[in-house]
Amino acid sequence: MEKRMSEKELLDSFEEALADNHIYVVYQPKINHASGRMVGAEALMRWRHPEYGTQYPSEFIPVLENNNLIYRADLYVFEQVCKLQRKCLNEDRHPVPISFNMSRYDIYNNNYVDEIEKIRTKYDVPVKYLRVEITESSAIGGMELILSVLDRLHELGYTVEMDDFGSGYSSLNVLKDLPVDIIKLDMRFLSGDIGGRGGTIISSIVQMTKWLNTPVIAEGVETIEQADYMKSIGCKYIQGYLYSKPISQEDFLEKLKETDHEPVGPAMDLISTMNAGKFWDPESLETLIFNNYVGGAAIFTYNKDGKAEILRINEKYIKEVGMNQTEADILGTDPWMCYDEDNKKIFIKTLERAIASHDEETCETWRHLYSDCCGDDTICVKSFVRMIGETEDQYIFYAMVQNITKEKNMYRELYDSERRFRFASEQANVYAWEYDISSKEMRPCFRCMRDLGLPPLVKNYPETAIEAGIFPPETADMYRDWMKKIDEGIGTIEGIIPLTVGRVPFHVRYTTEFDENGKPLKAFGSATLVVDGEGEK
Ligand code: C2E
Ligand code: CA
Ligand code: CA
């Protein structure tokens, strides 16, 4: 007969339950969903009353907690786990690490850590085969207390797992202060819509924990879809009914025999210079730097299947390229939002280069945005991208962005005006060119380019033209003198020079353009064929 026992009945039969193994332990494997291998197991407490049948942890554990008995029950479970590991070691069975649950009430008990150490030593189990699961709620009793317990556990060599992460209580705040080694995310807290908002929450938690460089185990995974989804966002460790319900010790030993094992690996190798933990802390120096000193910057993931997602941006990113968007509009979108196919291709090619080179790569892309308030807008963005992390199916990128629309447009205008000028000369039957005084660059018209074989930009003018033989050698010094006079600010200068290979006389004339302070900027040169008689004038 199954019957739910009252609190009094539970308390009255507790001692007997411990003594007679009515309280016992079952084991649930933790599996790497990518390889199918076992990475560990969790020990879970069970209570089967000889008369009333199975009692549920959700009911009897709170009773034990409220009556200061959980401590004894947890130590009992721990001892069973140590016994099992010793048995495995004795029988050469290659154990996997087994986790045990530490109630938050255990931490109020000062000698809890001493007691488990006593038991561990008694069975001589290497600490690497034992893991502690704590819950976020352990922090309720005060950070100091839990931190001192964690310190001691770490000193002794225990790996600590954060159980039920995301269930409560300002998870990320707790996480950044608690030095845990593995995070367990319970799918049941987010059941139903892993494609929708729940999925976004899970994936951002997984992303953030990757930044903390902490492996994640997904718990309560019941379907292959959930497991595949978790794997796709970089969380490949799974505990749940999909692989196995909690099973008896014998069944567990059987499973241990037939399944390969492997250790839990780190979530991602990050570049060592960046302190990932501090990166998410709004008050850290890293965040300050991210927000203030690096210009527009973004962090995004790029999946090996081609999908991408912006995880983090700083304020300057919005200023540079956000146009009229807000942070909320941008987070979660892909970094090529607003790109057309060609620009998207350019961007992705740059990412691929950065993956191959492990170095910074840059590209310039145009993005187009429309909003009701501001209408259409097109901007050109220069991106400097660098791959900063990699998992099995995902890369993490750091990108700095610069809005270079103004420079681009200036260049375009310049290009257009040059085109106009070059076409005009063609029409007017003159040779024309522009001489830039400070850079000594000369830009010839189409006719010059065609008839004199000049490139669109002639550097180190007039020496290059003299060398090329466009002027007769005896006029070279005179011509150099003209240039000097132009440099010094002469308004116009002109004369007859026999030009080109045929030494045909040309009327060459310069007009100088000045800036508002009277400094000479450019000189516009022209050459027209000397008509009969002009030479003698
Ligand atoms: P928990 O530590 O989060 O343990 C995982 C619970 O999820 C277990 O419930 C397990 O049977 C259940 N579970 C695992 N995979 C799935 C799944 O795919 N679907 C569903 N629906 N459930 C799944 P259980 O054994 O009933 O334990 C409940 C809670 O009782 C545990 O939650 C833990 O907080 C507590 N508990 C269990 N054993 C101990 C113990 O030895 N000491 C302490 N202090 N607490 C324990
Ligand atoms: Ca647990
Ligand atoms: Ca859990």
Mean pLDDT by 10 residues, the chain (537 residues): 91 96 97 93 97 95 95 97 97 93 90 96 97 86 87 95 72 70 82 56 66 82 88 86 96 92 67 52 63 75 87 83 78 83 93 90 84 71 83 80 81 68 64 89 82 83 87 89 92 87 83 87 85 49
Is domain 417-529 classified as CATH 3.30.450.20?
yes
- The pLDDT value recorded for residue 170 is 46
Report d(CA 58, CA 443) in Å as an integer: 84
Distance 184 CA to ligand 2 centre (A): 8
In short, whether 241's Cβ falls inside 6 Å of ligand 1 is yes
CB within 5 A of ion ligand 3: which residues? 163-164, 219
Enter the DSSP assignment of 157: T
Q: How far is CA 348 from the centre of its chain?
A: 15
- CA-closest residue to ligand 1 atom 26: 57
- CA-closest residue to ligand 1 atom 41: 45
The CATH architecture assigned to 7-250 reads Alpha-Beta Barrel (3.20)
Structure tokens given for 149: 């317990």
Residue type at 405 in one-letter notation = T
- The pLDDT value recorded for residue 203 is 66
Enter the DSSP assignment of 96: -
In short, whether 95's Cβ falls inside 6 Å of ligand 1 is no
Say whether 417-529 and 282-403 share the same fold: yes
- The pLDDT value recorded for residue 85 is 98
- The pLDDT value recorded for residue 253 is 95
- Crossing angle, helix 70-90 and helix 7-19, to 10 degrees? 30
- The pLDDT value recorded for residue 194 is 57
pTM: 0.62
Distance 528 CA to ligand 2 centre (A): 92
Q: How many other C-beta atoms lie within 10 A of the C-beta of residue 223?
A: 13
Per DSSP, the three-state class of 402 is strand
Q: Give the residue extent of every domain in the chain.
A: 7-250, 282-403, 417-529
Report d(CA 293, CA 275) in Å as an integer: 16
- The pLDDT value recorded for residue 535 is 44
HSE value, Cβ hemisphere, 13 Å, CA-based, for 106: 24
Q: Is the dihedral of CA 370, 373, 375, 378 positive or negative?
A: negative
**CATH for 282-403, options being 3.40.309.10, 3.30.450.20, 3.40.50.11440, 3.30.390.10:** 3.30.450.20
Distance 324 CA to ligand 3 centre (A): 42
Distance 125 CA to ligand 1 centre (A): 24
- The pLDDT value recorded for residue 126 is 97
- The pLDDT value recorded for residue 112 is 94
Show Cβ contacts of residue 47 under 8 Å, excluding neighbours closer than 6 positions: 17, 22, 23, 24, 54, 55, 57, 60
